[in-house]
Amino acid sequence: MEDNYVADQDYEHLDYRSESLYSEYENCHFRGCTLSNINLGGVIFSECEFEDCDFSSSNLKGTSFRDCSFRNCKLLGLRFEECSDFLLSFSFNACDLSFSSFFQLKIRKTGFYNCKLEQVEFSEADLTGANFSDANLNNATFRNSILEGADFRQSHNLSIDPEQNRLKNAKFTLENLPGLLWKYDLKIS
């Protein structure tokens, strides 16, 4: 990894498995780039946009995402809890984050719009005000999570135990009801 800073650049269709990374990117746009199976440890991304990129199985230990957005990206099996928590903020739109983990992260008001979140770990995370609009939460884990004010109204396949999570003012629809009562083995029609 080079020890350099770069700002206001566009990167298209680069494969970072064979390209060098700078240590800090600010206000950069990445389109169609491959950042999978590499060490992103210590890299700082500030106000960057990622579109159609693949980050799957990369090492995020110490990586900084500060006000970054991801659109139509593959982010499979990432351990976001290993990121630097300093100014950590991001949003996801039409991304696949399956098998990733946000364990114990404070990521209030994070948007997971139209995302595939299968088997994602959200235990002990602070997701106050998060938006899961049109998200597929099949087998996602919420345990001791703070979900106050979170919006699940258009989410699918959710399974949340209200006794193990803080849900004050969280938003649900009648279609979400089975996902809140699953552990009682009720027949709801």
- Per-residue pLDDT at 182 exceeds 80: no
| pLDDT average, residue stretch 27-33 | 98
Output phi, psi for 89, to 5 deg: -160, 140
Three-state SS at 82: helix
pLDDT tens readout for residues 50-74: 999 999 999 999 999 999 999 999 9
Say what the pLDDT of residue 126 is: 98
Q: Decide which of 36 and 177 is more confident.
A: 36
Q: pTM of the prediction?
A: 0.92
pLDDT tens readout for residues 133-147: 999 999 999 999 999
Distance of alpha carbon 160 from alpha carbon 163, whole angstroms: 9
The model's confidence at residue 188, banded by pLDDT at 50, 70 and 90, is: low
Residue 6 CB coordination number (10 Å): 15
Architecture field, domain 101-189: 3 Solenoid (2.160)
Tell me which DSSP letter residue 152 carries: -
Identify any residues that bridge with 11 across adjacent strands, giving them in sequence order: 30
pLDDT tens readout for residues 104-121: 999 999 999 999 999 999
Say what the pLDDT of residue 29 is: 98
Residue 114 CB coordination number (10 Å): 17
Distance of alpha carbon 42 from alpha carbon 179, whole angstroms: 38
CATH 2.160.20.80 range(s) for the chain read: 1-95, 101-189
Phi-psi domain of 181 (left: phi exceeds 0; alpha: psi -120 through 50; beta: other): alpha
Distance of alpha carbon 178 from alpha carbon 159, whole angstroms: 8
List, as one string, the DSSP characters of 161-176: -TTTSB-TT-B--GGG
The model's confidence at residue 1, banded by pLDDT at 50, 70 and 90, is: very low
CATH homologous superfamily of domain 1-95? E3 ubiquitin-protein ligase SopA (2.160.20.80)
